[in-house]
Amino acid sequence: MSLNNRTRRQLLGVQMTTAASTSQHASSTMMASSSSSGSTTTTTTSAPSSSAVRALAMEYKSLQEEPVEGFRVKLINDDNLFEWEVAIFGPPDTLYQGGYFKAHMKFPHDYPYSPPSIRFLTKVWHPNVYENGDLCISILHPPVDDPQSGELPCERWNPTQNVRTILLSVISLLNEPNTYSPANVDASVMYRRWRDSQGIDNEYPNIIRKQALAANAEAKREGIVVPMTLEDYCLKPARKPTTESGLDANFYDDDFDLETEDDLPTDDDDFDEDDDEEEDEDEEDSTSLNKNNGSATTAAAASSNSKCRNNNGSVGGVAAAGDASAESADDSGKGETT
């Protein structure tokens, strides 16, 4: 570990000195410094935002090497570590299956002391997403004394939170909205109606599925393969980003095995017809894959697994999913969500 850290530090040392004004690609800067690791540049911090640049470079690199399942991140502009584009694949066996949601993530200059913000570019009907796409999730809120917010203070931002923990919170929020402080009241009311009717009132899931479908169509137009099974969803890119691939490569196009094409719905397909046969295998695979990823990921994946288990095998997948997330939403109301 210490060797890793030292190398990482060296990368960042060089990165920091150049990031502010360089026209070079951030990736090549990082990579170049790694190959010349014999140099004695270690830590030279002084600029006010040096912590931010350092933390972001470190996180970005780590997410390229070991992505969070279901997410892809890239810099909007290679020269600017403070604005990221995030692509979220809807988790299989949820309402969001097949969906491909794009968002922008903006980091403040005093990151990691203050949280980033996230805005969806794809339309998302969700109790915690504002009309303009701004995501409202407590982990992204600075701790201000605000008893009115209805949020659990324990979920707030602190400097040890990072993009990885945020993304995991986002994926869990998708299926377990927080209805205590809705950003979209209509969506919240609709969601609760669906939940409280045990899935009989299905206006909410219908809208979500429609949006996921539309997003899937959009993804296709862009040539992006959206993972449709848990196995593919949890699959890590086999190749490690090497010298040139880091930031420049179009990371959307080849991370997933082409076999998944078979599972893709066409625009008028029903989502719920496949993956029943292989459910056990899927679960096993995803669990073992997740182990590499630290406990938080495992926990998140485990919870999504358990939901999948509830859904698998049921023809009316939507109603079952409704029960599952209704249950967990109730749980989350009582205490901590994670």
Partner 1 sequence: MEPKDEEIMKQQREIEKEVCDSTPLVSEKISLSCLRTEYMGDDVFSAKIQDLLKKYKFIRRTRPDGNCFFRAFAYSYLEYLITNYTAYQEFRKLAESSKDKLVELGFPRFTLEDFHETFMEVIKRVDPDCTGAEGSEKLQNELHQIFNEQGYSDYVVVYLRLITSGKLQEEAEFYQNFIEGSFTIEEFRHQEVEPMYKESDHIHIIALCTAIGAGVRVEYLDRGEGSTVKAHDFPEGSEPKVYLIYRPGHYDILYPN
7 near partner 1, judged by CB under 8 A: no
| Cross-sheet strand order for the sheet of 71-75 | 71-75, 83-89, 100-106, 117-120
- Which tokens is 273 given? 């017809």
DSSP class per residue in 192-211: HHHHHTTTSS-HHHHHHHHH
**Who's near 300: CB < 8 A, 6+ residues apart?**
168, 171, 172
In whole angstroms, how close is the CB of 295 to partner 1 at the nearest point? 9
- Which tokens is 262 given? 């078979």
Please tell me the distance from the alpha carbon of residue 173 to that of residue 150, in angstroms, as a whole number.
Answer: 16
Residue whose C-alpha is closest to residue 164's, from 79, 68, 265, 28? 68
Q: Considering 136, 154, 234, 308, which one is annotated as catalytic?
A: 136
11 near partner 1, judged by CB under 8 A: no
23 near partner 1, judged by CB under 8 A: no
Which of 21, 23, 148, 242 is the binder for partner 1 (CB under 8 A)?
148
The residue range among 29-37, 98-106, 141-149, 304-312 that interacts with partner 1, by the rule CB under 8 A, is 141-149
CA–CA distances in Å: residue 222 to residues 134, 218, 219, 253, 258 = 24, 6, 5, 9, 15
18 near partner 1, judged by CB under 8 A: no
- Which tokens is 198 given? 């045990």
The residue range among 43-51, 68-76, 272-280, 308-316 that interacts with partner 1, by the rule CB under 8 A, is 43-51
Please tell me the distance from the alpha carbon of residue 162 to that of residue 268, in angstroms, as a whole number.
Answer: 38
299 near partner 1, judged by CB under 8 A: no
Give the containing element (helix H, strand E) for 172. Answer: helix 163-175
The residue range among 22-30, 153-161, 283-291, 307-315 that interacts with partner 1, by the rule CB under 8 A, is 153-161
Please tell me the distance from the alpha carbon of residue 259 to that of residue 234, in angstroms, as a whole number.
Answer: 15
230 and 93 Cβ atoms separated by less than 8 Å: yes
111 and 55 Cβ atoms separated by less than 8 Å: yes
303 near partner 1, judged by CB under 8 A: no
287 near partner 1, judged by CB under 8 A: no
- Which tokens is 188 given? 């919240």
| Residue 136: active-site member | yes
Q: Which is nearer to partner 1, 141 or 209 (by Cβ)? A: 141
Which of 153, 313, 316, 333 is the binder for partner 1 (CB under 8 A)?
153
Which of 34, 41, 125, 152 is the binder for partner 1 (CB under 8 A)?
152
243 near partner 1, judged by CB under 8 A: no
41 near partner 1, judged by CB under 8 A: no
**How many residues of this chain interact with partner 1, rule: CB under 8 A?**
45
In whole angstroms, how close is the CB of 157 to partner 1 at the nearest point? 7
Which of 55, 105, 226, 321 is the binder for partner 1 (CB under 8 A)?
55
Catalytic residue positions, numbered:
136
Which stretches of the chain bind partner 1, using CB under 8 A?
Answer: 1, 5, 9, 43, 45-46, 48, 50-51, 54-55, 58-59, 62, 110, 112-114, 117, 141-146, 148-150, 152-162, 164-165, 181, 294, 296, 336
